[in-house]
Structure 1
Amino acid sequence: MESGNIVRVIMTATALAAACTAEAAELTTAQSAVPEFAAGAGPSPWQIRLRALDVITNDSGSVDGLPGSDLSYSNTIVPEFDISYFFSENIAAELILGTTYAKVYGGGSISALDEVGKTWLLPPTLTLQYHFTDFGAFRPYVGAGVNYTVFYNQSGKSARSLDVKNTFGVALQAGFDYMVDDHWGVNFDAKKIFLRPDFDANVGGAGVSGKAKLDPWLIGAGVTYRF
C-alpha cells in the first residue's frame, strides 16, 4: 500500500475513533443526568397502606321548615386501604378506599325521633401530597384533594325511609410515615372532609328534607409498604 493511502487510512480511523468516544461520553452524561428515582434505580413509585380508621363526625344538620331541629351521627372505627403513586420523592397522589356506616339521630326540636335511620357510606378520596424528605426515616406530608361519597343500603327507623344524596367534598390531609427499612414503615394520618349531603326522609307519612353536616375527621394509624 502506498504511503499516501496509509496516511489517509490512519486519519480516517482516528476520526472515527474520536467520534465514537465523543458519542459514548455524551450518552454517559445523559444517563447520569436522569434522576435516580426516574431511572428505576431508586424505590418503586408504588406504595400501599393499611390503617385502622376512626371516623369522627361533626354533629350538625337540620330539617327544612323545622326551626331548632338538629342532627347527630354515630362514630365508627373501620379498616382502610390506600394506594399511593410517587411522581417524585416529594410529590405523590393517594387514593383512599374504605367503607363505613352512620346512624342518624334527631336533636333539638326533633330529639323525640331519637334514631332516624342508618346509612352506609363509600367515600373514595383522592389527594395530592407533598412529602418532606429532609428528616431521614421520619417523612411527614401534607395533602389536599377531592372526595365523592356514595350513600347506600339506607334504612329508616323512627323515619319510614331515609335517602341521603351522593355528594362531593373537599379533603385536607396531614400525616407522617416512619420508615423502619426501605420497604416497611408505620403511619399516622389525619384527614378532614367537608361533607354536607342533602337528604329526604319520610316521617309519620310526611315527606321532609334537609342537610346533614357530617364534616368528618378521619384519624388513622397503620402500616406502610413501599414496593
Structure 2
Amino acid sequence: MHKLSKSMLALGLLVCAGSAMAHQPGDMVLRVGAAMVDPQDDSSTLRVNGTSVDGTSVSVDNDTQLGLTFTYMLREHIGLEVLAATPFSHEVTAHGLGDDLKTAEVTHLPPTVSVQYYPMEAGAAFQPYVGVGVNYTLFFDEELTSDFKGAMGDGKIKLDNSFGAAFQLGVDYQLTDNLVVNAAVWKIGIDTTATIDLDSGAQIKTDVDIDPLVYMVGVGYKF
C-alpha cells in the first residue's frame, strides 16, 4: 500500500508537470531579467573640420541593466513583443590619437518591437522562438570626459538617434502554468553619427555602427 501511494504520487506529479500549457492565443507573457548590450562596433575615421585623420577610430564598451519584455500571443504560434530596459550607459574611447583617449559617456534606451514565431505546439513546456522587428535607439545625457577635455579642450557631444532592424532567438521553459524561465539574444542595428563641437570652434565627427548583441536571462510570468 505504501509503494502504491508513492507510485500514485509520482504519477500525479508527472501529470501536473505535463499539464502546463504554454503560449495560447491571447496569453500575455511578462519577462524580467539581466540584459547586457555588447557592441560589435565599427567606426569611420575621425573627421576634424571635415578632414579625415588616418588611423583613428572609436569603440564603445558594454553595459548590463534590468531588461523587460512583454509578449502578446496573437495566435498559437505568433507573438508580438516589446523589449525595454533601464537606461544603458557606455564609455566611448577614441583610438589613434596617441594613447587611447576615453572620450565620452553616453546613455541610451533601445526600445524594440518584434514579431515572434513559436514553432512548438502550445502544450510543449519547451518553447523556442525566433523574432524579427524594428529598433529605435534614443541617445541622451552625452557627456565628454575630463580626460578628453584635458587633452582637447571643453565642448559638447551629441549622438544621432537611430532606427534599425532587430533579429532575435530565444527560449522559454515553462515551470508551471504561469511561471517560465527565459533566455534570449538579439542582434540590433544601431548606427549613429557622433559630433563634438569644441569651444575652440573645431568640430570632430565620426560615424559609428554599434550593432550590438543583446543578451538577456530571466524569469517570466504568463497572464
Task: Say yes or no: TM over 0.5.
Answer: yes
**Aligned match for 2:217, one of 200, 215, 221:** 221
Amino acid at match of 2:137: T
Superposition map of 1:1-227 within 5 A:
44-62=26-44, 63-64=46-47, 65-98=52-85, 99-107=87-95, 109-110=96-97, 112=99, 114-134=101-121, 136-157=124-145, 158=148, 160-202=155-197, 205=200, 206-227=202-223
Deviation per CA, 1:154-201: give whole Å up to 9, x if none: 111215321001110110000100000111010000001111111101
Q: Which moved more, 1:93-102 or 1:54-63?
A: 54-63
- Which is greater in Rg? 1
The runs of 4+ residues in structure 1 deviating greater than 4 Å are none
CA contact (8 A) 1:89 1:133 kept: no
CA contact (8 A) 2:25 2:75 kept: no
Deviation per CA, 1:44-95: give whole Å up to 9, x if none: 4211100101111123213231222111111111111111111012101100
Aligned alpha-carbon RMSD (Å): 1.7
Q: Percent identity?
A: 28
Instruction: Give 1:110 shift.
Output: 2.7
Where does the alignment leave 5 or more consecutive residues of structure 2 unmatched?
1-23, 150-154
Structure with the largest fraction of helix: 1
Q: Provide the rounded CA distance (Å) in 2 between the counterparts of 1:111 and 1:44.
A: 58
Amino acid at match of 1:175: G
CA contact (8 A) 1:58 1:72 kept: no
Where does the alignment leave 5 or more consecutive residues of structure 1 unmatched?
1-41
Instruction: Give 1:204 shift.
Output: 7.4
Q: Which has the higher contact order (CA 8 A, sep 6+)?
A: 2
Q: Provide the rounded CA distance (Å) in 1 between the counterparts of 2:210 and 2:54.
A: 19
SS of the residue 1:168 aligns to: strand
Instruction: Give 1:111 shift.
Output: 5.1
The alignment's TM-score, normalised by the length of structure 2, stands at 0.78
Amino acid at match of 1:83: F
